[in-house]
Structure 1
Amino acid sequence: MVHYHQLSICYLNILIGAGKSEVSAIVYKAGECMQELLKSWKEFEATPDARNTENQQNGPTLEIRIPAEFVTSTNRQVKGAQLWGTDVYTNDSDLVAVLMHTGYCSPTSSPPPSAIQELRATVRVLPPQDSYTSTLRNNVRSRAWGAGIGCSFRIERCCIVKKGGGAIDLEPRLSHTSAVEPTLAPVAVERTMTTRAAASNALRQQRFVREVTIQYNLCNEPWLKYSISIVADKGLKKSLYTSARLKKGEVIYLETHFNRYELCFSGEKPRSIGSNSNASDLEPEKHQNNSHHHLQNGDRGNTEHELRDVFRWSRCKKAMPEVAMRSIGIPLPAEQVEVLQDNLEWEDVQWSQTGVWVSGKEYPLARVHFLSAN
């Protein structure tokens, strides 16, 4: 019995349509860059059609056959997030990861049904882009890359080929999701990533990788690009919780592309935890007559309370440089902010890969910065 992953890369020339356009077919291999994309692009660049910029967007197409056993999130290229771009991807992006990112197939660890023989994806080879953007789609995050590299590609179509014959066309699902995720970043095994090769090596070693990118904020000052690892708890001890850092005096400032927000500790509030069953048996007059006696003996009344930490979520009315902010006080005084949510419990603030949810409302974030209170 021949297994697809044992097949060497082969070419099939398929003549389609009246124009006799040639489509090359190759067999996908996990962990191997599709050199045929770059080869095909270089051949296209040598033709007269490539001199026209518009024609470059209609580069050659290749049909890629993907054996069913590779279409799973346990594929090491998918686990390693080996894809760069959105809609248009770098030529070294993994095809299965791209198909999951575009929604042609779901990122599940379960293998496809046994009736499926393979997937066939048609990709169009495109010129290198000035940059490649990162997005979270269908629970798969692509990476960003800031320069042209070799060539690019996009998915034109994808279908399932059944073992008994016949094919089923698949449709893309380009929805954008930002599911809330746990916020624990184990710093003990954290490494700084400087190159794509270093990132790939770190992921192979199953270590936590933190990408640190500097962006300029609304006042043209360097802040960290928002990442869930920046706001995550740094360990299992309570003193390492992000909420504990805020209680000790730190303040988180977060920016979208248009607004700046402040998240700070605002104090402790009592929370009711139960009632005194004996109090309900007291007659009203007796309870009123003995109220002074109760107070003298330190009786708290019908309900017991415990203190809970609460936080404040505000929009800064004006984005100011750090020097100006420190001169008027951290956290900012009431006249400088519009309080959007007060008396928040920490569980009301939920972080995702792309932003933060506060009391059920999502704020997509671009930058983050911690400042210590004055």
Structure 2
Amino acid sequence: MVPFAGWEMPVQYADMGVLQSHHHVRESAGLFDVSHMLQTKITGSDHLAFLSRVLVADLSSVPSDRAQLSLITNDRGGIIDDCVVQRRDDHVYLVSNAGTRDKDLAHLHTQLEIFRKEGGDVALEVMEGESLLALQGPKSAQALATLITAPSSPDFLASIPFMAAADVDVAGVPVRLTRCGYTGEDGFEISLPHSEAPRIAELLLSSLGGSVVKLAGLGPRDSLRLEAGLCLYGHDVDEDVSPVEAGLAWTISKKRRAEGGFLGAETILDQIKSGPTRKRVGLIVDGAPAREGAQILSLSGEKLGKVTSGAPSPSLKKNVAMGYVPAGQSKLGTELQVEVRGKKYNAKVVKMPFVPARYYKPN
């Protein structure tokens, strides 16, 4: 157990080391307790108009019961946080990072007051009574299906694609199910009452004979998301990094690019048009693994940037890393170097994700 954003979090569990747990999620299913994440509900007749100011997402074009990754931006075009935002019939459900909880809430409440003074009808509720379980891996749907008591259709989960959601009963407990996660694998995030979370977790762990679903902690969560090329807030993105620099411009739709209207839009849209001066890239590193903070160098030894995340990839059996380099050095195949403990090692810019995603899509 380690301190994490004010919580005590498991790095690994007694029955399985980090490496073994990583492979188990890739091959079977892992259960992560991510109840530390901030879950909020945005309501009011003008909630979509309000969110169009604070998020880069175009929720007006998102159908109900669909979710997407989005970004909360500041007036300089930097990223205050990344989040998963889900449209419901009468509100929006938003999940953001535990480490930025206080900052996110302060920012959102400031923007709420401004919006309300202009006559807007919007409210924010922190879902304090809800836990969040993330079931991840190729056998997640098989395990979860054994516990769904409503709807009763045996192939119900097959109709839910990646980033879709539904209200279901799991072992008699009403939950909010979203087909998403942060591992690059198929899986689900399950929002449910605190009082029911331990029982549902135990049932998932004992499903399908008890060997399919295993508890997983922060260790495999980090290596899995790195292989998937996914950013970790405070490391790969922060308030001094724009969505364009981070390679997240895809979260900004054509309509939003045309209309703007979100905080930092002028800077961000100018970067989309003209190109950023630096970019987040993926690296395969020879020799020693390049961890966060390692210098990225040109072949001539010029300092270009720093690694923001890096580790050995259990799936590839290679050292992988992410970091920022000048745009001119970001082309796939570019040969670079990294400096680790005073020694220089060869590195090459490669396409991300390092391990192809296996998100579920119905046939």
TM-score of the two chains, using structure 1 as the length reference: 0.24
Q: Which has the higher contact order (CA 8 A, sep 6+)?
A: 2
Q: TM-score, normalised by structure 2?
A: 0.25
